[in-house]
Chain A
Amino acid sequence: DTEVTQTPKHLVMGMTNKKSLKCEQHMGHRAMYWYKQKAKKPPELMFVYSYEKLSINESVPSRFSPECPNSSLLNLHLHALQPEDSALYLCASSQDWQGNSPLHFGNGTRLTVT
């Protein structure tokens, strides 16, 4: 079990659907992240939130829209996705943004776009 909880675990959506991924942590961490991971590849950073403010956007297409309602919650809103967006979406948090502050990952949402 991890201390970062992601829902749903699996999601299948059509290209015209709108869905949301949810992430929750109760460790008091001040930074939260969205990563995308394709099969047999490393996680790739999408977004960084610090103190509930979007701090880094790695040039992610606008069909992915992050939201941080409060310090414990992080959402990723999905709209008009493409089949190539199918991947494992990982949420992570860290205590702060020092170089030695480890990332704590959730188990991810496995997304399939049909």
Chain B
Amino acid sequence: GQSLEQPSEVTAVEGAIVQINCTYQTSGFYGLSWYQQHDGGAPTFLSYNGLDGLEETGRFSSFLSRSDSYGYLLLQELQMKDSASYFCAVPSFSGGYQKVTFGTGTKLQVIP
């Protein structure tokens, strides 16, 4: 099965940088994705790392280390609207079809 662990809550100040970690144990590994979900809203895709290293998309960056079974999401220049839950996720395959398993989730609170 798949197991992805994240810190449950993180608080950071507006304008600062915050890192949200994800450690995983999977049977087969194909990459690590990140999703954002505001309260009452839909999860939205942020990034995907298929290879080791850093992927940058605007204020958000995501990092993967396959050897350490570890990844993180880095949010820079935090804004109040970044207050949300963040989930790491991994695809796996059953009978050739993709299923995506989500991590435990991190609730980020951005304070003034």
Q: How far is the CA of A101 from the CA of B43 in the complex (A)?
A: 15
Given contacts A45-B100, A45-B101, whether A102 and B33 have CB atoms under 8 Å apart is: yes
Residue of B whose beta carbon sits closest to that of A4: B42
> B98 interface residue, CB < 8 Å from A?
yes
Chain A 30-65 interface 0/1 with B at a Cβ cutoff of 8 Å (1 = within) = 010100000011111100101000011010000000
Number of interface residues of A (CB under 8 A): 30
Pair count A-B, CB < 8 A: 68
Given contacts A104-B45, A107-B41, A108-B42, whether A97 and B97 have CB atoms under 8 Å apart is: yes
Chain B interface mostly:
strand
> B71 interface residue, CB < 8 Å from A?
no
Which residue of A40, A42, A58, A98 is within 8 Å of B102 (Cβ)? A42
> B67 interface residue, CB < 8 Å from A?
no
Chain A interface mostly:
loop
Among the interface residues A33, A41, A103, which one has the most CB atoms of the partner chain B within 10 A? A103
Contact across chains for B87 and A42 when beta carbons are under 8 A apart? yes
Contact across chains for A100 and B97 when beta carbons are under 8 A apart? no
Q: A26 → chain B, closest Cβ, in Å?
A: 16
Q: B9 → chain A, closest Cβ, in Å?
A: 10
Q: Which residues of B contact A (CB under 8 A)?
A: 30-31, 33, 35, 41-45, 48, 50, 87, 91, 93-105, 107
Q: Which residues of A contact B (CB under 8 A)?
A: 2, 4, 31, 33, 40-45, 48, 50, 55-56, 58, 90, 94, 96-108
